[in-house]
Amino acid sequence: MSQRHTDVTVQAIEEACPLVEVLDHVSGKWSIGIIVAAAHGPIRFTELERAVSGISRRMLTLTLRRLERDGLLHRTVYPTVPPKVEYTLTDMARELHATLSALTDWAERHRSAIAAARKDYDADAAVNTA
Amino acid sequence: MSQRHTDVTVQAIEEACPLVEVLDHVSGKWSIGIIVAAAHGPIRFTELERAVSGISRRMLTLTLRRLERDGLLHRTVYPTVPPKVEYTLTDMARELHATLSALTDWAERHRSAIAAARKDYDADAAVNTA
DNA sequence: CTGGATCCAAAACGATACTG
DNA sequence: CAGTATCGTTTTGGATCCAG
């Protein structure tokens, strides 16, 4: 910790790359919400639409396709009428969900700290503008 | 696991919200890269520009401001000439960085699985289009 | 019910010239 | 060195209508 930089920077970017990949797949406001919503069992399209508050039909579809494509979701179509489709997390995604809980914990531990930091920052900005 | 949905969906969204907040602050192609780059000690603007490969001056500045605003980065200005500015992770951000490593691990464990899933998905798509 | 297709607004991003 | 300002491009997302 707190040692000087030389060419360790190169190591830094290599360390970051896989993570950037993950977040590219998992990012987009909605992926996480969907994973969490699907975490405790098979869930249908309309249920997801209600569970992930604020999502539009379009974004739901797009995100579902991306998650399916990345092997995080499994899609089961029941050829009934009306149609019924269930989405289930893959094992891979279930591991991911467990990992994400660590992030949730972090978020909850520091939620108020972040809010406070913002408030301070904005206050400073107001002073410097006045 | 694999129980039916009733009104547990409500719980799902509440569980997701804080996490969505985090990712809103930490998201954007560059935040993570910057956090990783700053993780092993104070780092200067130009060093960051080189460490986070592909980032533009503009995005670097914008992302730095946001991270600072959210209390993840501390900015130290040395009023010398030429100017010198150092960015340091806050304690909060260091915790976050540790948490992110879990994600990195997950990504590396499943990198090839994701690639394979994609390949299959694209193959299917090709068949269904033909 | 599940979702594809289209159109449009907004946000994120990139390049680059300029400044204290 | 460490940014800011401006412009153009790309990506993202919402609204809506249509279809199996």
pLDDT of residue A130: 60
Closest-CA residue of B relative to A122 is B69
E strand map for chain A: 43-44, 73-78, 84-89
Q: Which nucleotides of C are covered by protein (CB under 7 A)?
A: 1-6, 12-17, 20
B122 CB burial (10 A radius; 0-12, 13-18, 19+): exposed
Number of domains in chain B: 1
Nearest in space to A117 (alpha carbons), one of B48, B44, B98, B90: B90
What is the domain extent for residue A77? 3-129
pLDDT < 70 positions in chain B: 1-19, 21-22, 128-130
pLDDT of residue A127: 79
pLDDT of residue B127: 76
pLDDT of residue A126: 80
Q: How far apart are CA B22 and CA A129, in angstroms?
A: 28
Closest-CA residue of B relative to A113 is B71
Q: How far apart are CA B46 and CA B51, in angstroms?
A: 9
Residue B53's domain is classified under what CATH number?
1.10.10.10
E strand map for B1-130: 43-44, 73-78, 84-89
Which nucleotide minimizes the distance between its C1' and the CA of A83?
Answer: C1
A25: pLDDT strictly greater than 80: no
Cβ contact, residue pair B69, A121, below 8 Å? yes
Nearest in space to A72 (alpha carbons), one of B116, B24, B125: B116
Tens-place pLDDT, residues A70-109:
999 999 999 999 999 999 999 999 999 999 888 888 988 9
For an interface test with A, give the residue of B10, B22, B43 to mutate (most A CBs within 10 A): B22
Residue B1 vs residue A20, higher pLDDT: A20
pLDDT of residue B3: 42
* Distance separating the N- and C-terminal Cα atoms of chain B: 38
Per-chain mean pLDDT for chain A: 84
The arithmetic mean of pLDDT across residues A55-77, rounded, is 95
Q: Which nucleotides of D are covered by protein (CB under 7 A)?
A: 1-6, 12-17, 20
A56: pLDDT strictly greater than 80: yes
Q: Is B53 on the interface with A (CB under 8 A)?
A: yes
Which nucleotide minimizes the distance between its C1' and the CA of B48?
Answer: D2
Q: How far apart are CA B71 and CA B77, in angstroms?
A: 16
Q: How far apart are CA A121 and CA A90, in angstroms?
A: 42
The arithmetic mean of pLDDT across residues A18-31, rounded, is 75
B38 CB burial (10 A radius; 0-12, 13-18, 19+): buried
Nearest in space to A18 (alpha carbons), one of B92, B112, B67, B55: B112
SS3 content of chain A, % helix, strand, coil (to 5): 65, 10, 25
A41: pLDDT strictly greater than 90: yes
pLDDT of residue B96: 94
Phi then psi dihedrals of residue A5, to 5 deg: -90, 135
Question: What is the pTM for the complete model shown?
Answer: 0.85
How distant is the Cα of A26 from the closest Cα of chain B, in angstroms? 10
pLDDT level of residue A129 (50, 70, 90 thresholds): low
Element (H, E) at B79: none
